[in-house]
A and B are shown apart, each in its own frame.
Chain A
Amino acid sequence: MAEYVLLLYAEDGERDRWEEMPLWVEVTKSLQEAGVLVDNAALESPEAATTVRVRGGAAEATDGPFATTKEFLAGYYVLDCADLDEALRHAARLPLARYGAVEVRPVVAGWGGRG
């Protein structure tokens, strides 16, 4: 088993699709029940972002996202899957995959707080 992060990218104005909420709930619940879901979250829009850099020993905070792009990170899922195929299959079930894009990235084993 390996962990995968599913990074959800969508264009501005496309994240408030309330009508698809039942679909999100359904997919998330099924991932939970299958014991696949490790973590997930929806993110506030990039306007709410603050970006921090430490330069010359001093922390600088700037208003806004790290990079301004047409499609932005709207949320993520962390899943525990047997292999890439399984992660891709779950990614394709997310409603956002139909209009945005889901980037699937393996998590490096042995790092991070979860151990």
Chain B
Amino acid sequence: MTESPDAVVARVFRDERLAVLATLIRQVGDVQLAEDALQDAFAAAVEAWRRDGVPDRAGAWITVAARRRAIDRLRRDRSIAERAERLARLMRLEDGRPDAGAVDDDRLRLIFTCCHPALAMPARVALTLRMVGGLTTAEIARAFLVAEPTMGKRIVRAKRRIAEAGVGYRVPGRDELPERLRGVLRVVYLIFNEGYSAAEGDRLVRGELCGEAVRLGRLLAELLPGETEVWGLLALMLLHDARRPARVDADGHYVALHEQDRSLWDRDEIREGLAALARAKGPGEYRLQAAIAALHMAAPEPDWTLIARLYGTLGEISPAPVVEVNRAVAVGFADGPGAGLALLAPLLDEPVLERYQPLHAAHAELLRRAGDVDGAEGAYRRALEITGNEVERAELARRLQTLRG
């Protein structure tokens, strides 16, 4: 059966939109103009392909059509900056001259531009989903629980800022790459977490963000296969995402990892996550977190000694209270609660951590296992006092109750 022209347009849009758009932005020198021209070209394709049949190289047809639309727009709109230079450049391509800029993959240029530090974080996130992910403004607005006009304005302003501030359309050089790549990965992980930590009510809509973040992670792995943290982040997201169906029970309550129904985990995602983890070489924040997640998932009674060691390395790369608390918990399982408590002691003396709930919850748990019921009761009460989350509160209250049982 041959595909209908409309189905071909839909397929070409899905498969080729990103690459065509990314190249077009470089050729026409403006994000908005490229996007408008591409939209024109797809609209034209629907008509032309119904009338004349689908061309052999549909993606190339769209590229050429979009470039001509851009030329039309440049000829019509005298207010566009550097109009003559842009027109001249496009006309050279029309004459069949070689495309001089086509050394790096344009998709990488687009990703680094959308995640440029000159943009505020919410703008980076929205623009990446819109331009790279191809989501509509309405979809992004729904996922982030903001009104559609608000999101629309945010995206328009971000595009304008790229043009006005003069953000270059390029892949950072070797010396800037590590820092800029970290920024890109932060955007992708933020998108993932936005979906992953969504509350019950909006779980379905926002869960799509996890899928989108994983797709972005796969694209980065394809474009930058030599980067440890790209594989580390992809592995981390896949291993988390695989457990998504088991994280909430039938009543909508969160289920801790070791209590989850493992048959609900997505095996394909686990397999892909472990393969990505194997590609990540050398230490890295995401890679270490992914390795820890993999160990937790490998067996109901994981290798706590190894987990403790990985948290130790993670703490050296990126020191944070949460890492130290987790390390103490792991050591508490590996070498006994006394060893874990010894690691927590300096954190408990830290005034800035006085209201850090995970610290007091972990402290209570270790004291309970050490047989210090009074101490554990005090620590649970302390944790309960400062928790702001209903689910956590219920869990802490339950543990407090069973303490003297």
A interface vs B, CB < 8 Å?
2, 4, 81-88, 106, 109
On chain B, the residues within 8 Å of A84 by CB distance are 116, 118, 165-168
Given contacts A84-B118, A85-B176, contact A2 B81 (CB under 8 A): no
B170 at the interface (CB under 8 A from A): yes
What are the interface flags for B1-27 relative to A under an 8 Å C-beta threshold, 1 for contact and 0 otherwise?
Answer: 000000000000000000000000000
On chain A, the residues within 8 Å of B168 by CB distance are 82-86
B52 at the interface (CB under 8 A from A): no
Chain B contact residue count (CB 8 A cutoff): 12
Q: In the complex, are the beta carbons of A87 and B81 less than 8 A apart?
A: no
On chain A, the residues within 8 Å of B164 by CB distance are 106
Chain A proximity of B58: nearest CB distance (Å): 34
Q: In the complex, are the beta carbons of B81 and A4 less than 8 A apart?
A: no
Chain B interface, >50% SS class: loop
Chain A proximity of B399: nearest CB distance (Å): 49
On chain A, the residues within 8 Å of B172 by CB distance are 85
What are the interface flags for B142-166 relative to A under an 8 Å C-beta threshold, 1 for contact and 0 otherwise?
Answer: 0000000000000000000000111
What are the interface flags for B107-132 relative to A under an 8 Å C-beta threshold, 1 for contact and 0 otherwise?
Answer: 00000000010100000000000000
B interface vs A, CB < 8 Å?
81-82, 116, 118, 164-168, 170, 172, 176
A38 to B180 Cα, complex, angstroms: 28
Q: Across the interface, name the chain B residue whose C-beta is closest to A107.
A: B166
Jot down 27 A-B pairs with beta carbons below 8 A, ordered by A. Answer: A2-B166, A4-B166, A81-B166, A82-B168, A83-B166, A83-B167, A83-B168, A83-B170, A84-B116, A84-B118, A84-B165, A84-B166, A84-B167, A84-B168, A85-B167, A85-B168, A85-B170, A85-B172, A85-B176, A86-B168, A87-B166, A88-B118, A106-B164, A106-B165, A106-B166, A109-B81, A109-B82
Among B166, B170, B172, find the residue whose CB has the most chain A CB atoms closer than 10 A: B166
Lowest 6 A-B CB distances belong to which pairs? Answer: A83-B168, A84-B166, A2-B166, A84-B167, A84-B165, A106-B166
On chain B, the residues within 8 Å of A106 by CB distance are 164-166
A83 to B168 Cα, complex, angstroms: 5
